[in-house]
Amino acid sequence: MAEAAEEEPARLWPPPVGAYAEERGLFPLLQKMLEELLIHKPDDPIEFMINHLKQNNDDAPRICVLGPPASGKTTVAMWLCKHFDATRISQETLLLEETLALTEEAKAYKEKNQKIPNALWANLIQERLSNVDCIKQGWILEGFPENQEQAWMLQSFGIFPRHVVMLYASDTVLIERSSGKRLDPLTQEVYHTTFNWPSDPVVQQRLEVPPDLSEQEVSRRLLEYHRSFPELFQIYQKVLKSINADQPSVDVLSQVLTFVQTRPRSAAPFTPRLLLCGPSGSGKRLQAALIAQKYGVVNICCGQLLKEAVAENTKLGELIKPYIENGWPVPDNLVLELLAKRLSCLDCLTDGWVLCGFPRDVEQAELLQSSRINPNRVFFFNLPYESIMERLSQRRTDPVTGQRYHTTFRPAPTPEIQARLRQNPRDQEENIEKRLETYFRNLKDLEDFYEDAFYVNADQDPYVVFEFIESCIIKPLPCKKNRHL
């Protein structure tokens, strides 16, 4: 039996399996479930996984906002909670949670002006995070963990933030900020006499100066924070981003949001399926060639694919031929049949592909989707009208050698070649304008269809454009649509 088993050939997964798993997020899901099993070590792993799938929302935010006193942790945490509809958890909110079993014990320490033990804080946080709102909607931990011991305790409970925001500013700035802080005892919202003063007179009247904001107390807390910071940084460095809090709050919040919307790199297999959209002259073909050359994906230009089908005299090519010869648009069903056949070939399924030239409108995009041709990265190339005209209208071709030149960027090397150059009728201004009018008429609907697309400034050095596209290929998709260069 052992010999027979050894002789049995290894089973290979068919190529579409990887695409199926990627589209449905199976690899991250299985990784997360395995992590939960190793942390909690349940007696019945199957039942535990079933309950995990029923209860947990693995896409919900799990964020820690850390920083020294007066760095703006509360402002950032509250803003994130409103943005994600998540639950904010801080010292103040925990001490107000009367339903928690350990709240009274923590309050007793507070009333005696004694330091609340790390273990008590950690247990309070664990109890609060086990509530349904935190599981379903996610959570923002403000000011926790405060030190290494708390961080280790939270990890032992299986509490791992996906993102840790570390705010920083000079001590001078922080001490000055502290003097202007005011607290709303009713809502626990923090305001500032200079940066964030409420417009409601009723709120203004009830604001109080927090009791522990003397310069000496703030200096003491800053010193304590600086002692704990290196250890926290070491623990969370793989999921941590330091953000300068000494800048306008709008800029701070923008940087925080960009960071917390990033996803960690995954070890799961990834097959690139790239779609490049853009007007004529935006450089789609060049970028497709660069991508194919570096990553070994199959470069598919829709126009070239149609010409090859005609040249090879295939049955489909014979149907396409009259349209090509007469300059008519090839019907969508023929283009789609040709594309589907090519993209289902083994090299496309295993190595991936980069496609340009199709779709040109939302109807064609819907046809692609109905044929299960789904790109996992879509790029829209943006280029000003003047740049498009300059790139295309000045193109010339040498009828003898077939070489292509440009009167500005790549002029002919000799007067003899210059004299025999010809312009393709497609590159005449009136024909360029017709193509652009068609492209921009359909652009908005196409952008709405591919709402998670990246937008590329194509009016710059081609290798700068390539570096941006490359960064989007190798990094996981952020959690937000309309990402820009």
Mean pLDDT, rounded, for 425-439? 88
Residue 5: pLDDT band (50, 70, 90) is: very low
pLDDT tens column, 196-238: 778 888 888 888 877 666 667 778 888 889 899 999 999 999 8
Residue 190: pLDDT band (50, 70, 90) is: confident
Q: Which fold would CATH assign to domain 60-260?
A: Rossmann fold (3.40.50)
Give the integer Cα–Cα distance in Å for 463 and 234: 36
Q: What are the C-alpha distances in Å from 122 to residues 146, 157, 230, 316?
A: 10, 9, 20, 67
303 or 475: whose pLDDT is higher?
Answer: 303
402 or 445: whose pLDDT is higher?
Answer: 445
Give the integer Cα–Cα distance in Å for 418 and 254: 52
When mean pLDDT is compared across 55-64, 146-155, 315-324, the lowest value belongs to 55-64
Do the domains at 60-260 and 273-484 have one common CATH topology?
yes
Among 53-62, 284-293, 466-475, the range with the most confident prediction by mean pLDDT is 284-293
Residue 30: pLDDT band (50, 70, 90) is: confident
Residue 424: pLDDT band (50, 70, 90) is: confident
| Predicted confidence (pLDDT) at residue 19 exceeds the cutoff of 90 | no
Report which of 239, 234, 260 is spatially closest to residue 160, judged by C-alpha positions: 239
Residue 37: pLDDT band (50, 70, 90) is: confident
For the chain, domain boundaries: 60-260, 273-484
| Predicted confidence (pLDDT) at residue 447 exceeds the cutoff of 90 | yes
**What is the structure's pLDDT at 133?**
87
For residue 33, the SS3 value is: helix
| Predicted confidence (pLDDT) at residue 151 exceeds the cutoff of 90 | yes
Superfamily name and number for 273-484: P-loop containing nucleotide triphosphate hydrolases (3.40.50.300)
pLDDT tens column, 285-307: 999 999 999 989 999 998 888 88
Give the integer Cα–Cα distance in Å for 479 and 258: 9
Residues 6+ apart with CB under 8 A from 55: 135
| Predicted confidence (pLDDT) at residue 56 exceeds the cutoff of 80 | no
Read off the pTM.
0.62
268 or 186: whose pLDDT is higher?
Answer: 186
**What is the structure's pLDDT at 248?**
87
269 or 448: whose pLDDT is higher?
Answer: 448
Mean pLDDT, rounded, for 146-159? 91
| Predicted confidence (pLDDT) at residue 464 exceeds the cutoff of 90 | yes
Give the integer Cα–Cα distance in Å for 325 and 322: 5
Provide the terminal-to-terminal Cα distance of the chain, rounded to the nearest Å: 59
Are 324 and 310 contacting, i.e. CB atoms less than 8 angstroms apart?
yes
| Predicted confidence (pLDDT) at residue 6 exceeds the cutoff of 70 | no
Report which of 74, 82, 122 is spatially closest to residue 102, judged by C-alpha positions: 122
State the chain's mean pLDDT as an integer: 84
pLDDT tens column, 385-420: 898 898 888 888 888 888 888 888 888 888 888 888
Q: What are the C-alpha distances in Å from 273 to residues 136, 198, 231, 376?
A: 32, 50, 41, 5
When mean pLDDT is compared across 167-181, 201-215, 281-295, 460-474, the lowest value belongs to 201-215
